[in-house]
Structure 1
């Protein structure tokens, strides 16, 4: 169980972070923003691109951040410390001849001049185009899509998953190819940035160097987290995928610090100090991604878990397995370790578990999908007769996993699918009723996407391959970089594991390493390629 840690009040953390509720609200499009006094606008303020996210049947959130000098070390992107009204337009066509919505949001220095315009009044299940204007400067055009009508069942949904984009480990070539696929939706499953200092020892992008020492230190302050997001978001292929489709994002650990668990830091930072660090890390996360006001951080807390529907085709429950989990004592543990099996332990926390099971109880969707961070399938890491498991993954919270599987059975969830990131490998696994019996019932399907850039080029296999494939419910292991591309219909889910052969230099081709089909009503993996 979690230790009892005295927390500074949320109000105190909110004051510490230096942002008012009014500043946050104005960034979403408050009416007063149109008449707010301002000054001259620096040239080329849209260097970080545009994005959209969390689509609903009648609306979507649009994002941009004004940053004419994105790598300014003070974290303000070269913007003067004053607010700027930012106008946005949403149109039914790319030439903006059929305008569907207009509005104004106020970009304030308190939120690094980010905008989270929550647009409503759109038509369900259709494509839209959007752009921003501040002064005489006009942003690139983005494309987005609204969710279908709640009661309808669309013929198909094309979505992708991605995770783990260590900018300094390689080029984001995977995103170059993903942008060309024109997905309806992109799920990002954690590790949007990495907190480590970027030095000559870990800079692997060929021909790339960074100005000044500000990038060489671990991110701890708000300014440092802001700068790290700016650096990663300057990548043109990342910007292209953001502009191509709405994103649904969640965090894992590196948005704050490696392997953290709630207020616990693996490097021994006192809980109070670590929560202050988490507060500024979450604030920078919110500032730089297309998130709604309901997700904005309240000090060290952020309401990341949420539910999206794609008509009756799919219910997507976006989970947070990092912020509410119980701490864990080490990297690995034996199979019969009492703490691993403790029924009181949770990777989700009591409130999130209750929310999840209630949503499953009410679901009438064909597919019920969990978009989350760490591997759910049991993975025995001892290739001999003994058992060893990762404490950082769902294996470290076995009772929580059992409760989830019980909820699937209790509510008759016929088509559970789990989307996962974290491990920098493409892995496809079947979720079993009895992990020790390969012939036992398959209760769900887990699709684990590899990293976009983390761990450099990778290989088709590596020294961990036999370990993973030694678990008979694991049907694929590949250690290249890439993303997962899926097509979902009322009768089947087709998952394609896309890889590139190298990322240390740009220009790699894309390959479908494996293709699986999961039939509705029959959880599991049927390999086609």
Structure 2
């Protein structure tokens, strides 16, 4: 990799600052171009401590990401200057056959993170990428473009993950995931946890609950220093969405969990959303504007699969019945209650209705299938932070699936730190009701599912005949293999989250056949 003279590079970057601003850094570079450009990039220590990542693959492109952070746990350790960062995309892992290259500015406004929306690539192939700042080079990452739109695609291999409480356990699951044969990883939320120190896990941090932008940046940096997480990011492109802990537990729109004022929480959400963007391989279309960010989006993989990625936190109405696990109050059936907001709900329906894909994936956060946690017949106890608290909104979606019958709807879900499989029923209270789709709920990477909850959930299974599988004992990830004929889901679990050498195994496998909604044990 040829190094350019530092002064020459700085001058060239100054001349190009407007052009950069007109590209993927629209407005940001222009707004920040009055910061001096570092003429000779020298760092107090290695600047690529947080690794590299890629995401949101298209047939002709992908986003590649890094962040300059020589002192990642104390604000990043970068001066308040713009830093030119060179990037390259190659056809080989040794970075010899370079097909795209360029230079971008890492700015203080975005914590010196870099999001390069690379275009002009070939569909359905592997690429390798690397960054350079001054004389320092990043690790090499691997990524893959999507197949051409609606082209015949024989198979897709992906995994989905969620809920990675750093204090609660080691990321051994990610070490195993990085070794899988995958095209893609989908993260369904709770990438970080906002909590202060907690005892009981194998590793602790000392920072209090995070509130400010600096707090959120340092928390993401802490998580990103994990080598297993870095390996999983570097191995595959990721599609990401958030849940609640990226901001505040069980928040709903601008309503926090505790008694913060709306204005205080609005500022907190703006800080949380910005730090999320800074640390994820997202396009500029997801760049937050204050406390708002457009995260729901759609990605297509040939004619085989289309992913509808939802955001069920930013637009939802407040949880009914004062939240929690309890019998449902009348507000849980309010037709005006919403998980997604009306605009996103209409976007989802339209996309499903127009889809030409064999498998239509709804990637979202909290459990869609109904689950009555009460083992006694005739009474119900429900988690109203899930779709069980938004019954009318769920009914609208399930009725749409029944009436319009998009091809093979499959919901993938995180949040609950345990593994489930549901047949999605038009009427969950009638076992003979039509099955309109399938839901696979994945366990956490490390976050806790209390052992004391396992037996009561198992005891309630007879009251929930549409629930085909439950496990609360194991942590891990979910691996999915899609072909035109069938979808196979493997629940991959690690033997321990407190053992860095923990093994991995397949706990259970389920299959959905094309044209036959509902899962069968494989």
- Report the Cα distance in structure 2 between the residues aligned to 1:242 and 1:30, rounded to whole angstroms: 26
2:501 maps to 1:507: yes
The aligned counterpart of 2:333 is: 341
* Deviation of 1:331 (Å): 1.4
- Report the Cα distance in structure 1 between the residues aligned to 2:185 and 2:192, rounded to whole angstroms: 17
Task: Indicate which of 67, 70, 86 corresponds to 2:69.
Answer: 67
- Report the Cα distance in structure 1 between the residues aligned to 2:243 and 2:424, rounded to whole angstroms: 22
* Deviation of 1:25 (Å): 4.7
Q: Is the 8 A contact 1:28 1:106 kept in 2?
A: no
- Report the Cα distance in structure 2 between the residues aligned to 1:27 and 1:48, rounded to whole angstroms: 25
Q: Is the 8 A contact 1:445 1:525 kept in 2?
A: yes
Task: Indicate which of 222, 233, 254 corresponds to 1:242.
Answer: 233
* Deviation of 1:381 (Å): 1.7
Task: Indicate which of 354, 358, 363 corresponds to 2:346.
Answer: 354
The aligned counterpart of 1:253 is: 244
- Report the Cα distance in structure 2 between the residues aligned to 1:22 and 1:273, rounded to whole angstroms: 32
Q: Is the 8 A contact 1:53 1:62 kept in 2?
A: yes
Q: 3-state DSSP class of the match of 1:194? A: coil
The aligned counterpart of 2:17 is: none
2:39 maps to 1:38: yes
Matches within 5 A, 1:321-336: 321-328=312-319, 329-335=322-328
- Report the Cα distance in structure 1 between the residues aligned to 2:47 and 2:407, rounded to whole angstroms: 48
The aligned counterpart of 2:210 is: 219
Question: Over residues 51-77 of structure 1, what are the superposed CA-to-partner deviations in whole Å (9 max), with x where a residue is unaligned?
Answer: 0000011000000001111111xx2x1
Identify if the C-alpha distance between structure 1 residues 113 and 23 changes in structure 2 by more than 3 Å, giving closer, same or farther: farther
Q: 3-state DSSP class of the match of 2:264? A: helix
Question: Over residues 391-415 of structure 1, what are the superposed CA-to-partner deviations in whole Å (9 max), with x where a residue is unaligned?
Answer: 1001111111111112223322130
Task: Indicate which of 52, 55, 75 corresponds to 2:54.
Answer: 52
- TM-score, normalised by the number of residues in structure 2: 0.91
2:371 maps to 1:370: no
Q: Is the 8 A contact 1:29 1:105 kept in 2?
A: no
- Report the Cα distance in structure 2 between the residues aligned to 1:114 and 1:257, rounded to whole angstroms: 23
Q: Is the 8 A contact 1:27 1:108 kept in 2?
A: no
Question: Over residues 307-363 of structure 1, what are the superposed CA-to-partner deviations in whole Å (9 max), with x where a residue is unaligned?
Answer: 00011111100001111000023214534x321111111111011011111111211
Q: Is the 8 A contact 2:312 2:364 kept in 1?
A: yes
Identify if the C-alpha distance between structure 1 residues 25 and 148 changes in structure 2 by more than 3 Å, giving closer, same or farther: closer
Q: Which runs of 5+ in 2 are unaligned?
A: 1-19
Task: Indicate which of 384, 398, 402 corresponds to 1:405.
Answer: 398
The aligned counterpart of 1:117 is: 116
The aligned counterpart of 1:128 is: 127
- Report the Cα distance in structure 1 between the residues aligned to 2:488 and 2:341, rounded to whole angstroms: 32
The aligned counterpart of 1:4 is: none
Identify if the C-alpha distance between structure 1 residues 167 and 23 changes in structure 2 by more than 3 Å, giving closer, same or farther: farther
Identify if the C-alpha distance between structure 1 residues 350 and 473 changes in structure 2 by more than 3 Å, giving closer, same or farther: same
- Report the Cα distance in structure 2 between the residues aligned to 1:47 and 1:138, rounded to whole angstroms: 11
Identify if the C-alpha distance between structure 1 residues 468 and 190 changes in structure 2 by more than 3 Å, giving closer, same or farther: farther
Question: Over residues 470-498 of structure 1, what are the superposed CA-to-partner deviations in whole Å (9 max), with x where a residue is unaligned?
Answer: 41111111121100000001110000001
* Deviation of 1:41 (Å): 2.2
| Aligned length, in residue pairs | 495
* Deviation of 1:29 (Å): 11
* Deviation of 1:273 (Å): 1.1
The aligned counterpart of 2:141 is: 142
Q: Is the 8 A contact 1:163 1:421 kept in 2?
A: yes
Q: Which runs of 5+ in 1 are unaligned?
A: 1-20
- Report the Cα distance in structure 2 between the residues aligned to 1:406 and 1:424, rounded to whole angstroms: 28
* Deviation of 1:39 (Å): 3.9
The aligned counterpart of 2:85 is: 86
* Deviation of 1:441 (Å): 1.8
Q: 3-state DSSP class of the match of 2:371? A: coil
More displaced 10-residue stretch of structure 1: 387-396 or 454-463: 454-463
- Report the Cα distance in structure 2 between the residues aligned to 1:229 and 1:319, rounded to whole angstroms: 22
* Deviation of 1:26 (Å): 3.5
Q: 3-state DSSP class of the match of 1:524? A: strand
Matches within 5 A, 1:227-238: 227-238=218-229
Q: Is the 8 A contact 1:176 1:240 kept in 2?
A: yes
Task: Indicate which of 487, 510, 520 corresponds to 1:516.
Answer: 510
Identify if the C-alpha distance between structure 1 residues 515 and 28 changes in structure 2 by more than 3 Å, giving closer, same or farther: farther
Q: Is the 8 A contact 2:374 2:380 kept in 1?
A: yes
- Report the Cα distance in structure 2 between the residues aligned to 1:158 and 1:288, rounded to whole angstroms: 25
Matches within 5 A, 1:442-461: 442-455=435-448, 461=454
- Report the Cα distance in structure 1 between the residues aligned to 2:393 and 2:218, rounded to whole angstroms: 37
Q: 3-state DSSP class of the match of 1:169? A: coil
Higher relative contact order (CA 8 A, sep 6+): 1
Q: Is the 8 A contact 2:417 2:449 kept in 1?
A: no
Q: Is the 8 A contact 2:41 2:133 kept in 1?
A: no
The aligned counterpart of 1:13 is: none
* Deviation of 1:198 (Å): 1.9
Q: 3-state DSSP class of the match of 1:276? A: helix
Identify if the C-alpha distance between structure 1 residues 113 and 273 changes in structure 2 by more than 3 Å, giving closer, same or farther: same
Q: Is the 8 A contact 1:30 1:105 kept in 2?
A: no
The aligned counterpart of 1:419 is: 412
* Deviation of 1:501 (Å): 1.8
* Deviation of 1:30 (Å): 7.3
Identify if the C-alpha distance between structure 1 residues 116 and 236 changes in structure 2 by more than 3 Å, giving closer, same or farther: same
* Deviation of 1:465 (Å): 2.9
The aligned counterpart of 1:288 is: 279
The aligned counterpart of 1:172 is: 171
Q: Is the 8 A contact 1:256 1:281 kept in 2?
A: yes
Structure 1: 4+ residue segments shifted above 6 A: 27-33, 456-460
The aligned counterpart of 2:303 is: 312
- Report the Cα distance in structure 2 between the residues aligned to 1:163 and 1:189, rounded to whole angstroms: 5
The aligned counterpart of 1:10 is: none
Q: 3-state DSSP class of the match of 1:227? A: helix
The aligned counterpart of 1:181 is: 180
Q: Is the 8 A contact 2:24 2:116 kept in 1?
A: no
Question: Over residues 85-107 of structure 1, what are the superposed CA-to-partner deviations in whole Å (9 max), with x where a residue is unaligned?
Answer: 11110011111222121111111
